[in-house]
Amino acid sequence: MKFDIDRDVLLEPLQFVSGVVKKEQTLPVLSNILVRCENGELELTATDQEVELCARITDFALYKEGETTLPARKLLDICKSLTTGSRISFEIENKWMAVESGRFSSHLAMLPATEFPDIDMERDSIGFGITSASFKALLDKTAFAMAQQDVRYFFNGMLFELDEKMVRTVATNGQRLAISSLEGEFSGLPADITQIIVPRKGIIELGRMLKDEDLPVEVIFTRNHIRVTSQTAMLTSKLIDGAYPDYQRAIPANSDKLVIADRKALREALTRTAILSNEMYRNVRLELMNDNVVLHANNPQQEEAEENVAVDYSGEMLEIGFNVGYLIDALGAIDGDTVHLAFSGGGNPVLITDPENDKSRFVISPMML
């Protein structure tokens, strides 16, 4: 195998696939990237056997086809260390990969490409097309609510609900819930596959892969995998095997206290108040009164913060506490200038919505004051 390529062309795809490579691996080959040159295309692939990332490059000079695996971190560090505009040459010399650029030369150890594991996709699949920007926006509105290392393993991922006219994403950690949907024509989806759960790692890497551009991507589901393919990259992830809880039961139905606020002003006030909140619990107290919400925060050092935010509210006085980070995240996922916060009492969750877009909803459980 022999080829050369511009450092700037190689760096971004290399960074993308390296994101799935862990520092410590049970199999040595999992610390490597599969490098394959054939049919005028350079393909880089990495996997942790749960998620597989692949990047394709056509802007390079190919002199001899072939495939091998190279150490991911070392290759990435070499590429980063070279100056912008550098040209890098790769050539297999006996048992080594010679990597050269200008006055720099090196020899990297290789492992056979035949040892590199492959995620086998089932033949029976369903799928749909969507733009990268639309899919990224859908994920961004829910991904932040996923749990991390929760014993309820299905919380450590994102639920996809599918039908012929809509794709809905749902994420929760048991204390907050984010729901968003996208309408469209998604024909060919069988009735027996209506829900799948994509693990957190797959969602995070998918967020890195998708660009905020109106370029097409293809989304394919099987009973055990999801695969998303763009013009230059591909992600394959195993699915979480389990039943997602009935999240609809967590959505408040009879909220009689409505706060209408300027989204940006409220989010900025919460961000300032959060500075002096308890670093462990991140709690903030909201005091609702006529046309005002007063934000209170304090910490074990007896430091305090308070801010009065003008809102549209005419209900009875209410005091309620929340994780301030959860409120900030939900407000950040709303696009409109105005936000609605619906309350039903001090011990009940708040429902946060965008009055200009009914496709997204956010539910946050209160904290003890």
What is the token pair recorded at 279? Answer: 């670093």
Same CATH fold assignment for domains 2-115 and 251-364: yes
Spell out, as residue ranges, where the chain has pLDDT lower than 70.
186-193
Where are the domains positioned within the chain? 2-115, 126-247, 251-364
What's the pLDDT at 105?
98
What is the token pair recorded at 86? Answer: 């550098």
Compute the distance between CA of residue 124 and CA of residue 121 in angstroms, rounded to an integer. 9
Domain topology for 251-364: DNA Polymerase III; Chain A, domain 2 (3.10.150)
Q: What is the pTM of this model?
A: 0.93
What is the token pair recorded at 76? Answer: 């990435």
* Alpha helices (H) in the chain, listed in sequence order: 7-18, 72-81, 132-140, 200-209, 263-274, 324-332
Maximum Cα interatomic distance, the chain, rounded to a whole number of Å: 80
Q: What architecture is the 126-247 domain classified under in CATH?
A: Roll (3.10)
Compute the distance between CA of residue 68 and CA of residue 98 in angstroms, rounded to an integer. 12
What's the pLDDT at 191?
60
Helix (H, G, I), strand (E, B) or coil at 29: helix
What's the pLDDT at 126?
79
Counting Cα atoms < 13 Å in the Cβ hemisphere of 141 gives 26
Pick among 3.10.150.10, 1.10.3720.10, 3.40.50.300, 3.30.910.20: CATH of 2-115: 3.10.150.10
In sequence order, the β-bridge partners of residue 56 are 43
Q: Cα dihedral sign for 270, 275, 281, 284?
A: negative
Kindly list the distances between the CA atom of residue 74 and the CA atoms of 26, 33, 71, 114, in Å, as whole numbers in the listed order: 18, 11, 6, 21
**Non-local CB neighbours of 104 within 8 Å, separated by 6+ positions:** 82
Compute the distance between CA of residue 124 and CA of residue 222 in angstroms, rounded to an integer. 6
